[in-house]
Copies of this chain bind each other. A is one copy, B any other.
Amino acid sequence: MGIEYYHVMQRAKDLDATIRFYELLGLTERRRYDSEAGRFTNVFMSPDGSADGNIELTHNWDDDPGLPSDSRHFGHIAFIVDDIYGLCQHLMDNGVTINRPPRDGYMAFVRSPDNISIELLQKGDALPAQEPWASMGNTGHW
């Protein structure tokens, strides 16, 4: 069950100020995704020489009232995995709650013992929908 480290995500209240900050450090915006449906923008930034964006910024258009005073400013640690169903089963068998099951064969979220949000993404294309995941509801938030 292969796994690769992918990115760290932080929520940004002021997207321009945050991009400027990481630019001061020497990072560059590599790609951007605006979601009209989700009303958010994702920006990926990385130093030169990195294969992809190491820092994912998430800016919610309708504001994150908790920012920057609560812990939602830190988002998650992301991994890319070879078999998201196999890994989620392995985690469940060992007592880990699958907060966001991989209903879509692509994305799941769990929490570390310290409540750190961990994102798991299927490598390549999404897997075909499969039970018990397809009909499994969410548990808590992440």
Which residues of A are interface residues toward B (Cβ below 8 A)? 1-5, 8, 10-14, 17-18, 21-22, 24-27, 46-50, 54-55, 67-71, 73-74, 77, 79, 81, 87, 90-91, 94, 96, 112-116, 118, 120
Contacts and interface: CB of A to CB of B under 8 A. Distances in A.
B114 A24 contact: no
Contacts of A12: 112-114
A15 to B, nearest CB: 9
B50 A27 contact: no
Contacts of A112: 10, 12, 18, 21-22
A112 B45 CA distance: 14
A102 to B, nearest CB: 14
